[in-house]
Amino acid sequence: MTEACELLAASDVNAVADVSIETQLTVERFLYRQAELLDEKLIEDWMALFSDDGWYWMPAEADQVEGDGQPNIFWEDQGLMLMRNARNTHPRAHSQAPHNRLCHVVSNVIIESENADGDIIVRSRFQCAEYLRYEVRNFSGKYRHLLKKTRAGYKIALQRVDLVNREGPYDYVLQWWL
């Protein structure tokens, strides 16, 4: 089990940490900025939010505690994220013609825990609308992040995305990160 998954699995998903207002605002701004980068397709900037060993995880089942070796919608490290971005932005990526547009709304940001090093486990809710080929698809769910405190600010060690409609039928495959 990856260390980040182990930390999330061992934490209390209903906990509410007593953190400073400054910490709360910093974490909220981080999550809002992340959503903005995705919406504006500033993917390199978005990927820079991840630690070098960071993971983006969208499990196939709500009770999953590990991404490695399990069926997942996404289980990607930096290398796989770079590959997905290259494929999506390639001039002949017909699945992306015309280009989609995304709109994220992030809310209910609750810090579950903060350790002595300043690392944070935070949960939040999201709504994301994707416009592609004259249709809008809506995704909603919850995020859980393990954020590592660095000198340059927070870095994502693990972002878990639990979709409300994870088993729903889709007309086309999800190409972009939520």
User: CA 165: distance to chain centroid?
Assistant: 16
Structure confidence at residue 178 (pLDDT): 74
Structure confidence at residue 160 (pLDDT): 96
Q: Which residue has the tokens 């859980």?
A: 144
CATH class, domain 3-163, is: alpha beta
**Whether 126 contacts 140, CB under 8 Å:** yes
| Greatest Cα pair distance in the chain | 50
Tokens, residue 15: 């906990």
Structure confidence at residue 14 (pLDDT): 92
Structure confidence at residue 88 (pLDDT): 67
Structure confidence at residue 94 (pLDDT): 55
Q: CA–CA separation, 60 vs 64, rounded Å?
A: 8
Q: CA–CA separation, 54 vs 114, rounded Å?
A: 18
Chain length of the chain: 178
- pLDDT digits (tens), the chain, 178 positions: 588 888 888 899 999 999 999 999 999 999 999 999 999 989 899 999 999 999 999 998 999 999 988 888 889 998 888 887 677 665 565 555 567 789 999 999 999 999 999 999 999 999 999 887 788 888 899 999 999 999 999 999 999 999 998 877 666 666 666 7
- DSSP assignment, residue 100? P
Q: CA–CA separation, 120 vs 27, rounded Å?
A: 9
Q: CA–CA separation, 110 vs 14, rounded Å?
A: 9
Tokens, residue 145: 């992040």
Q: CA–CA separation, 61 vs 145, rounded Å?
A: 17
Element (DSSP H or E) covering residue 112: strand 101-114
Structure confidence at residue 93 (pLDDT): 54
pTM of the model: 0.90
Please tell me whether the peptide bond between 91 and the residue prior to it is cis, using omega within 30 degrees of 0.
no
Please tell me whether residue 75 adopts helix, strand or coil conformation: strand
Q: What share of residues in the chain are helix, strand, coil (percent, to 5)? A: 25, 40, 35
